[in-house]
Amino acid sequence: MIRYDFQQSVALVTGGTKGIGRAIVMALLDGQARVVVTYSQDDVAAEVFLQALTPEQKQRVNLLKSNVASRKDVHSLFEKEPITLVVNNAGILQQGDFQDLSDEQWDRTLAVNLKGPFMVGQEFLKHGPDGGAMVNISSIGGQIGGNKAPDYAASKAALISLTRSLARLGTTNNIRVNAVAPGWIKTEIFSEEQLANLQMEAAKVIPMGRLGTPEEIAGAVLFLLSAEASYITGHCLNVNGGLYFG
């Protein structure tokens, strides 16, 4: 992975202790950033994440238990650190039959996956520095739909639209806002059996013939956060092995 220089940056990564979020945090730390990392519930995973850091990395990480669907929690994040970069990664996905999708699950999914980035975006456009950057983690599900998790797909589609709106608003303060839409990514949310099945399916339907890795998503995110992407805003970058070209 290309190493970018984020030595003068303070990055906020929501949902940053596992999977794609953790890979983004580690890449930012590799670029010498200070990173505010949030998680919502899994204390065990948060402790595993923290213990895996080197002593030097721990000095540059502020790990916080925070609910991105709470205005109070989101507001407090911007009072603790002078945030210069943001990655809205926190999200929830619960698959099932459409007819079994409850009002409560629909509301919870949109609260975390869409309302959270809206509130973070509002705070960042208010407090962020000239030249700041934000990346929202969407999904291929938001581009093609999903019969197993239509609430998730709807939230991720709306997040792409929100990204474009925030990009227009951010130009006032020279703040860039982009999105990354991952395809099928190998993370710990899948069991070994599910991963084996996904890998076989990937060989059939993904032009590149494999699942992606969290590190490949992190590479795309860091590019969009970096000065190398200084003239890019309002864009949704597909990282899906050719599964979707739109």
Q: Which amino acids are annotated catalytic?
A: 152
For residue 190, give the 3-state DSSP assignment.
coil
The answer to whether 82 and 131 are in contact (CB under 8 A) is no
- Any bridge partners for residue 177, and if so which? 134
| Pairing status of strand 34-39 against strand 133-137 | unpaired
Residues 6+ apart with CB under 8 A from 180: 135, 136, 137, 138, 217, 220, 221, 224, 236, 237, 239
Let me know: does 138 contact 87? Beta carbons within 8 Å.
Answer: no
- Identify the burial level of 1 via C-beta atoms within 10 angstroms of its C-beta, where 0-12 means exposed, 13-18 middle and 19 or more buried: middle
